[in-house]
Structure 1
Amino acid sequence: MWFKHLHLYRLHDAPVVPLTTLEDVLAEQAARPLGDNDARRLGWGTPGGRNSTRFCHEVQGHRLLSAQRQERLLPASIVREAVEERVDERERAEGGPLPRKEKQAIKEQVYEDLLPQAFVRSQRIDLWWDTQRDLIGINASSAKRAEEVLDLLRQTLGSLKVTPLATKTLPIRAMTEWLHDPTSRPDDLALGDQVELQTPSDEGVLRARRVDLDSEEITTLLSGDRQATRLAIEVDERVSLMLHDDLALKSLRFADSVIEEASQSDDGDDAIQRLETDFILMAQTLADTTERLLDWLGGEATPESQQDTASVTS
C-alpha cells in the first residue's frame, strides 16, 4: 500500500466526478485477461485485491485507484533465433537469399506464433487523487508508466487536462544550493547520504552513496561546476526520499512514527479498513510533503510560465 515512488501532476479544470459515477466508469475499463494475440493490456483493478469489488476508495477527499498492467514477455533473442531458423530453411529450399521484405514478414509471423506461449507479467500501479488540491500522484518507477496510467484515466473519464507538477525554482538549482550553502536549507529539511552530480555539459555523472553530503569531498566536487540532479532528503522527520531534477520522488520511506500511527488504529481485522487507514495517513503525509516542496522551490509554476521558460532555454 505504501508508495515507493511518486510522479506528481496538476489537474486543470478538474472534473467533478461523484464517487458512484467514478465506480461505474472505472468498471467499464476494468482489467481483463490477455488474449492470445495481446502483447499488453492496461485496465483498472480493485485496490483492495481480489476479494474486493470496489474500484475506488475515498477517504477525506483522497481517492485511491489501482491500474493493472499485463504484458507478455517475449525475449528478442528467442524471436531472433526462431527467425534465423525459418529464414535459413527458406533460403536452402529456394537456393538463394530472401529479400528484406520477406524476412520482415517471417519475423512478424514468428512473433504472432510465439506470443501466446509467452509468460505474462502483471504489475499494479496505484494512483492517488487529491480532490481538494487538484493533485494526482502515481506510484510508478518511471514517468512512462505514470503517463500510461494517466492515459487510461483520460480514456475512462472522457477528458482530463493535466500537466506534470512544476516549480518556479528548478529542483536542480535548489538542490545544488542546499549542498553549497547549509544556511539555505529550510528548517524542516535534512540531507540524506546520497547524491548524483552532473556537469552542465553532460560529460559525466558521479553518484555517491552513504557519504556525508557536508563533507569537504562533496564541496570540492561542487566547486568543479557540477550540479545536483538527485538528492536524498528527509522532510520534517516524516518521510525520506530521493528528489530528482524532474520533481519525481523516488525511494520513498515513511518514518516509523507514521507507520506506527497506522498500526495503532483499530481496524477490527478488517482488511479494507486497514487499507483505508494506511492510505489516508500516507496521502496526508504526501500532500504535506508536496506543499513543503512547492514552498521550498519558490512556488508552483503555471503552464504559461513553463512555456516561457522552455522558449527561453531552447
Structure 2
Amino acid sequence: MWFKHLHLYRLHGAPEMPPEALEQALADQASQPLGGTQARRLGWCAPAGRLGSGHYLHELQGHRLLSALRQERLLPASVVREEVEEQVSDIESREGRKLTRKEKTAIKEQVTETLLPQAFIRSQKIDLWWDTRRNLIGINASSRTRAEDVLDLLRETLGSLKVTPLATQALPIRAMTTWLGDPESRPSDLELGDQVELKAKGDDGVLRARQVDLDSDEIQQLLASGRQASKLAVNLAGRLRFILHDDLALKSLRFSDALIEEADHAEDGDDALVRLETDFILMAQALSDDITRLIEWLGGEAETGRDSFPA
C-alpha cells in the first residue's frame, strides 16, 4: 500500500460528490478487458482487489484512495518492422517496383492490427490519494505522464476537474541548491541524504552521485562552478525520505521504520482489507503533514493561473 512516488496537484473548486455517488461514478468507468485490437486502456479498479468486495473507493478521515488499472499490449517495434520489411520485399519482388511511403505505412498499420491480438498484456495499478480537507491530490506514478493520464480519467469520471501541479514560491531547484551549499539554510528538521543530481547552466550535461557525502568539498566545488541541484535526497524529521525533483515530484519514497511498525502493530484481526485501510490512513496522514512542512520550507504555495484549466 505504501506509495513509492508522488506527483502532487492542487484542486480548485473541487466538485461536491458524496462517497456513494463517487463510488457509482468510478464503477461506471471501471476497467474492462482489452479488446482484440486495442493497444491500451485505462479504467478504475478496486484498490484492495478482490478483498475489497468490488469497492472502488476507500475514504477515511477525509482521505480518499482510488486506483486505476492501466493495460497495454506489448508489441515490440522490431517484430513489426521485420514483418513489414518481409511483406514489402515480397510485393516489390512480385510487382517489380518500389513501394511508396504511403503504401509502406498502410502495410505497417495492417501488420500492427494483425499482431496486436497476439501481444502480451502488461497491467499496472496506479494509486491516487485525495486529501479532501486540503484539496490536494497525490498520484503514485513513476512519471508525470502516467499521473496526468489518471487525472484525465478522473476528470472524465467526475465531468469536471480543475487542477494544477502543486507549485511553490521558491523554485525547488533554487531551494535545493541553497540547502546543499549552505548548511545553515537548512530547516532544523531536514537532513540531506546521499544522492544528488547536478545540472550545469551550459552544455556540460548532468552529474549524478549516489552514496556520497553531500557536504564534501567535491560537491561544494561543483556548486561553486555554477551547477544547480535538480534532484536531492532528503530526510524529513526522520519520518519520510525521498528524492525531491525540480518539478516538486517526490520519488523513491521511504517511510520510517517507526511508522511501518505502528502499522504492523495495529489491530486488524487478520483482515486484509482493514490492514490496507490502516496502512493507507497512516501513510496519508504522514504525507499530508510532511507535504505541508515542505511547502513552508519552499516559501509557501504559489498562486497559479486558473484560466487554462481543463474543464
Q: Distance in 1 between matches of 2:236 and 2:259?
A: 13
Residue type at the aligned position of 2:23:
E
| Aligned twin of 1:311 | none
Q: Distance in 1 between matches of 2:229 and 2:249?
A: 14
| Aligned twin of 1:168 | 169
How much does 1:203 deviate? Answer: 2.5
| Aligned twin of 2:251 | 250
Matches within 5 A, 1:225-240: 225-240=226-241
How much does 1:200 deviate? Answer: 1.7
After superposition, the C-alpha distances for 1:255-282 in whole angstroms (9 at most, x for unaligned) are: 0000001111000011111000000000
Matches within 5 A, 1:150-299: 150-299=151-300
| Aligned twin of 1:310 | none
| Aligned twin of 2:17 | 17
| Aligned twin of 2:136 | 135
CA RMSD of aligned residues (A): 1.2
Q: Distance in 2 between matches of 1:207 and 1:161?
A: 36
Q: Distance in 2 between matches of 1:306 and 1:194?
A: 38
Residue type at the aligned position of 2:42:
L
**What secondary structure is seen at the aligned counterpart in 1 of 2:49?**
coil
Residue type at the aligned position of 1:190:
E
Taking a change above 3 Å as real, the CA distance of residues 306 and 231 of structure 1, as seen in their structure-2 partners, is: farther
How much does 1:4 deviate? Answer: 0.2
| Aligned twin of 1:126 | 127
**Is the aligned partner of 1:79 residue 2:55?**
no
After superposition, the C-alpha distances for 1:48-75 in whole angstroms (9 at most, x for unaligned) are: 1124210000010000000000000000
**What secondary structure is seen at the aligned counterpart in 1 of 2:50?**
coil
Q: Distance in 2 between matches of 1:3 and 1:131?
A: 18
Q: Distance in 2 between matches of 1:82 and 1:119?
A: 18
After superposition, the C-alpha distances for 1:121-164 in whole angstroms (9 at most, x for unaligned) are: 00000000000000000000000000000000000000000000
After superposition, the C-alpha distances for 1:212-237 in whole angstroms (9 at most, x for unaligned) are: 11111111111100000000000010
Q: Distance in 1 between matches of 2:113 and 2:268?
A: 49
TM-score by length of 1: 0.96
Q: Distance in 2 between matches of 1:154 and 1:252?
A: 27
Q: Distance in 2 between matches of 1:6 and 1:49?
A: 21
| Aligned twin of 1:46 | 46
**What secondary structure is seen at the aligned counterpart in 2 of 1:300?**
coil
Contact 2:51–2:273 (CA under 8 A) maintained in structure 1:
no
Q: Which runs of 4+ in 1 moved over 6 A?
A: none
**Structure 1 regions of 5+ residues with no counterpart?**
308-314
Matches within 5 A, 1:107-118: 107-118=108-119
Q: Distance in 2 between matches of 1:203 and 1:83?
A: 40
**What secondary structure is seen at the aligned counterpart in 2 of 1:91?**
helix
Q: Distance in 2 between matches of 1:201 and 1:257?
A: 43
Contact 2:45–2:68 (CA under 8 A) maintained in structure 1:
yes
How much does 1:99 deviate? Answer: 1.4
Q: What is the aligned length?
A: 307
TM-score by length of 2: 0.97
**What secondary structure is seen at the aligned counterpart in 2 of 1:32?**
coil
| Aligned twin of 1:33 | 33
Taking a change above 3 Å as real, the CA distance of residues 306 and 232 of structure 1, as seen in their structure-2 partners, is: farther
Q: Among the aligned pairs, what percent are the same residue?
A: 68
Residue type at the aligned position of 2:212:
V
| Aligned twin of 2:100 | 99
**Structure 2 regions of 5+ residues with no counterpart?**
none
**What secondary structure is seen at the aligned counterpart in 1 of 2:117?**
helix
